[in-house]
Structure 1
């Protein structure tokens, strides 16, 4: 008997509830496949969706002048890791994959385009390489700020620590545990300063402290009591 697909209960507009359910079922299957490890799985999607909901709720209260489309936020949060280059299958056409998924399930062209553009600009590497592109998209689609912050929050804090080690174990065969701590400095501790929303920044501050405390404790425990000749 096939397992039932979990359906997150979020306040998406009535006209997009069926679309959301259909996309969720696709993402559940896509992210639960053997090609994904538990640093990037459906549980990650649920946490990002939850973060996005928290951020959206608070930002709509404090930024009344900005109009956020909840359907865009929730669909982009669901789909933000579809086509991720780290997990793309051989021959998988990821260029406009998100918009195709939405259009095939009845989304209109405008909604599909917005979600596709946002998903393409969520990633850290994209922003580091081309920060102006993110600035430009934020001016058109403020929903990007919500989804981007939601995803980055899941990379820091206690969950971020767990995901970092999980990813290292899956992709970094032969790399010592300390390699995960190096990734803290390479990327993770930089994320709080890249948050776009007031809510995201507040949440990130606490999670950054957890990263720093963990790194300090790890380095203390891992320090050898003798020298090693090389």
Structure 2
């Protein structure tokens, strides 16, 4: 039943969402895999609600620099309703999926009130970390025509990080802080493992470009 539902949800998302290199069907598949891993560690999740939220959470995908970006999750939740109804979700379950979708967004700042909402938020944020997080961060920054890093101070040792201008600045501005904001113990553990991957990349980058990573280390996150 879950695999059939997943395939139907995946088809809905593929037809309805505006896709880019960082927000596509592969992203949804990864978020669902993350959600399953977290749910296995935490227990007690409603699988159909979690699956629906994972595959419909980006139905409305606005650019990172869009002025109404913070409303994207609410817009996605609204767009999900008719699809959920067509799939046979009753009113309470539609509302549960919609809440999880609304609360997953970093920019929206909505507190996740249910187990499924907490799992989805952690699962989506995990896809911003680790090797895939490195790839996605640079893909998004490239699409927005942002430089890879500040040429004189790549690791923001003497300046405030500006992730609207430099891709690498997104790490101290947001990504390296994500583990502390995880709402599940399983999500936080996986996040810290992925941060370690990113920090190894950062130190390798520092060596290659002849700069100091300025104390970026796994012990700092």
Flag whether TM exceeds 0.5 (same fold).
yes
Residue aligning to 2:104: 122
Checking the alignment, whether the CA contact within 8 Å between 1:184 and 1:211 is kept in structure 2 is no
- How far residue 20 of structure 1 moved from its aligned partner, in angstroms, is 4.0
Partner SS for 1:124 = coil
Aligned to 1:55: 38
* Equivalent residue, structure 1, for 2:82: 100
Structure 1 residue aligned with 2:92: 110
What are the Cα deviations for residues 15-68 of structure 1, in whole angstroms up to 9, with x where unaligned?
xx655432221112334xxx42211111011011001111111211xxxxxx42
**Matched length:** 187
TM-score (norm 2): 0.76
Does 2:56 align with 1:73?
no
- Greater RCO, CA 8 A, separation 6+: 1
2:34–2:126 contact (8 Å) kept in structure 1: yes
RMSD: 2.3
Residues 29-48 of structure 1: matches in 2 within 5 Å? 29-31=15-17, 35-48=18-31
- In structure 2, runs of 5+ residues without a counterpart are 67-71, 150-165, 212-221
Unpaired runs of 5+ in structure 1?
1-10, 61-66, 128-132, 225-230
Deviations 1:156-196 (A, max 9, x none): 011100011111112x22x2112221111111111111111
1:184 aligned to 2:184? Answer: no
The structure number with the bigger radius of gyration is: 1
For 1:180, what is the secondary structure of its paired residue?
coil
TM-score (norm 1): 0.74
